[in-house]
A and B are shown apart, each in its own frame.
Chain A
Amino acid sequence: MKKPIIILILLFITIGTLVVARSVVSARITTSGLELSQIRQETHDLRTQNAILREKIFSLSSLTQVSARAEKVGFVESNQVFAISGAKPIARGE
C-alpha cells in the first residue's frame, strides 16, 4: 500500500517542480523581452548616430568639398607637368 503513496508524492513533486519551472521561465522570458526591446532600441539609436556621423565624414571628405575648400584657401591647379627620367644608355646590352 506504501508504493502508490510514494508514486503520488513523486508525481505531485514533479508537477510542482514543473509549475515552478514554467513560472520561472515565463518570468525570465518576459524580462528578456523587455531587455531585448531595450537592446533593440539602443542598437537603433547607435545605428542612427552612426549613420549621422558617417554622413558628416562623407560630406567633409568628398572631392567636391575638398576641392572647393582647397580653392578657397588658395591652392591652384598646376598646369605644368614634368617627368624626370634617367639618361638613355648608349648600349643596352641586348
Chain B
Amino acid sequence: MIRFRVVLAFITIVFGIIVLRLFYWQVVRADELTKLGLSQYGKSIKIEPLRGEIKTSDGFPIVANKVSYLLYANPKEVKDVASMSYFLSQELEMDEASISAQLSQNLFWVPLGRGLESEQKDVIEKMEFEGVGFEQEFQRYYPEASMAANLLGFVGRDDEGNTKGYFGVEGYYDRLLRGKGSSAVQINDALGRPILARAEGEQSFGTDGSSLVLNIDRSIQYLVEKELKDGIERYGASGGMVGIIEPKSGKIIAMANFPSFDPRSYQIYTDTEYKNTFISNLYEPGSTFKPLVMSAAFNENILTPVSKCPICSGPVSVGGYDLHTWNDEYYSNSTMLEVIQHSDNTGMVYTAQKLGLDRMLKYLDRYGIGETTGIDLEGETAPEIKAKSEWYEVDLATTGFGQGISITPIELLSAFSSIANKGVMMQPQVVSAVVDIDGDETRIAAKKLGNPISPETAKTMTDVLVNAVDKGEAKWASLDGYKIAGKTGTSSIPIEGKYDPNKTIASFIGFAPADNPKFVMLVILDRPTARIYGAETAAPIFFSIAQNLFSYYGIPPSD
C-alpha cells in the first residue's frame, strides 16, 4: 500500500512538473518562442515602399529616386580593422577613426556608410573584405540640382529611421509620397530554399508612394531663378524671391528663393537657407500694398480715380507723427490715379482715413490678410491682424501705404491676383494632380477663396495700375507695346523699433497682359545695396522676366 502511494505521489509530482513546464513554455514564454520558431523556418523582410516622384508641369521628374547602397559590416568577421578602415575612409571620404570605432564594436551588424553610388560599391567589392555587405536602397535624386529647392523641401529620416519629408511639397504631401511600408516573413524549407512569403499583420505587401504633378513650369522656374540670381548680384542684395501665379486658376507657375540650399546635403544648411521665405517670411510690403487699400476705397464708392487729394501738398501729421512721401516731393490736389502713379504716401493716408478703420479691417479680411492662404506647402505662416482696440490713428494711416503691417509675400501675391482676375481671389496651388502607382490620376480642382472686390473695381484698379507702369517711376524699365499693370514698392526695415533709412526691401508686383492676364508676378529684393528703390532694382527684374514670359507664351505686343 505504501509503495502504491509512493508511486502515485511520484507520478503526480512528475505530472505537475510537466504541467508547470508546459505552462511556462506555452504561456509565459509564448511570444519569445513563437518568434524563435518563425526565425527557424523563415526570416523577416522589411518592405520599404518606393517614394513617389515629383514632376513639373511638363512631366519631367524634378525629384526622382536613385539606387544607392548602405554599407555594413559584421565586426566579428573583419580581420584587418586598420587597413579596412583606412581604405574605406579614403573611398567614402569619412573619418578613419569613426570607421575604426564602428568596426571595433562587439556587435554583429554595424552601418558604415549610407548613400553609396554603384561605382563606389564596385570598388569596395573588388577589395573582397570579409564581413562586409551592401543593402540596396533608394535615395532622393534631383536631376535639376537645387532648382526650386525651397519649394520642394527635402527628405530626411524621423526618430525611427524611416524616411520623412520636411518642408515644402515633400513635407505637405509626405503621407501620399511615402506610400505604405510592410514587413513579410520569407519561409524556407529544410534546405533553406524559399517557399512562400507572407505579410505580417497586413493584407498586402504595402504600396509605393503616389507621384505628384506640379503646376510649376520647369522652363519658367529655370528662367526666374537665373534672373533672380543675376539681379541679386547686380544690385548687391542679401537675398531675393520671385513668385508667379496664374490669376484665373491660382496655379503657382514659379517660386524662387535665394539664398537656397542643395537638397542632397540638407544637413549642412541652416533653417534660414532651407525655409521657403516666400510663404514664411514676414515683411512690410510698402507701396505694393497701396493697390489693395485703394481698390477697397473704390469698391466702397468712397473715392474714384479722379477724386482729388486735399492733403497732398505737404507732409501729413497723424497722431503726433509726420508722414512724408518717399522722395519728399508733393503734388497738391493730385487725383487718386496720380497718387498711385507717384506712389504718394500722403495720398494713401487720405485714402486710409476716408476708408476708416472698420472698412480697412473688413477689406484686410476679404483679401485674406492675417490668414494663411492655404497653399499646399509645409511651413506657411501668417501673423494675425491686431484687434480693433489696439489700432492707433497712425496705424490706420501707415497701413494705407503698406508700413506698420506685416504680411508674407504669398499673402500679397494671392490678394493682388484678385485685381487681375475680375475681383475673384483663388487659392494658390502648387500641385495639380496626384498619380497613384496604377497610373490613375486625381486632378486637384482650383479653389476660390472669395470676391474681395467687384469686377468693375478690378477693371478700374487695373487701369490705374497700367497708368502707374506707363507714367510712374519704373516707366524706364517697362516694355514697349505691352499693357502691364503694376506697382513698385520700397519698404523700410524696422529694427529695434525704428526704421533703418539705408536698408530696404525693394519690390515690384504686377500682371500682364493687363486686359487678359496670363500671370501675376511679385519680385522682392532684400536689402539691395547698389540702389535701394524698387523702381531701380525689382522693377527691371520683373520686366526682364515678363519679356521672356511673353516670348515663351507667344504673346505679341498689343500696339
Interfacial residues, chain A to chain B (CB-CB below 8 A): 29-30, 33-34, 36-37, 44, 48, 51-52, 54-55, 58-59, 61-64, 67, 81, 83, 85
Contacts and interface: CB of A to CB of B under 8 A. Distances in A.
Which 7 interchain pairs have the tightest Cβ spacing?
A: A58-B143, A33-B195, A83-B556, A37-B194, A62-B143, A63-B222, A55-B66
A23 to B, nearest CB: 14
B557 A30 contact: no
Contact of A52 (B67, B187, B557): B67
* Most chain B Cβ neighbours within 10 Å, of A34, A58, A64: A58
Contacts of A63: 144, 147, 218-219, 222
B267 interface: no
A52 B119 CA distance: 12
Contacts of B195: 29-30, 33
Interface of B: 60-61, 64-67, 118, 136, 138, 141, 143-145, 147, 187, 189, 193-197, 218-219, 222, 547, 550-551, 556-557
B67 A33 contact: no
A37 to B, nearest CB: 4
A62 B144 contact: yes
A34 B64 contact: no
A81 B145 CA distance: 29
Nearest to A84: B556
A37 B42 CA distance: 13
Contact of A30 (B64, B193, B551): B193
A64 to B, nearest CB: 6
Nearest to B547: A81
Question: A36, A62, A83 — which one has the most chain B CB atoms within 10 A of its CB?
Answer: A62
Given A34-B194, A61-B60, A48 B67 contact: yes
14 contacts: A34-B193, A36-B194, A36-B197, A48-B136, A52-B67, A55-B64, A55-B67, A62-B60, A64-B144, A64-B145, A64-B222, A67-B222, A83-B556, A83-B557
A52 B141 CA distance: 11
Contacts of A51: 65-67, 138
With most chain B CB atoms within 10 A of its CB, the pick from A48, A64, A85 is A64
A55 B60 CA distance: 12
Interface of B is mostly: mixed
Contacts of B138: 51
Nearest to B188: A33
A85 B556 contact: yes
Chief secondary structure at chain A's binding surface: helix
Given A33-B189, A62-B144, 4 more contacts: A33-B196, A36-B194, A51-B138, A58-B141
A30 B192 CA distance: 11
A87 to B, nearest CB: 14
A51 B118 CA distance: 12
B64 to A, nearest CB: 6
Contacts of A58: 60-61, 64, 141, 143
Given A55-B64, A64-B147, A33 B556 contact: no
Contacts of B60: 58, 61-62
Contact of A59 (B143, B551, B557): B143
Contacts of A36: 194, 196-197
Contacts of A61: 60, 143
B136 A33 contact: no
Contacts of B189: 30, 33
Contacts of B551: 81
B309 to A, nearest CB: 39
Nearest to B555: A83
Nearest to B186: A37
A33 B42 CA distance: 13
A66 B187 CA distance: 50
Contacts of A64: 144-145, 147, 222
Contacts of B222: 63-64, 67
Contacts of B219: 63
Contacts of B118: 52
A34 B147 CA distance: 46
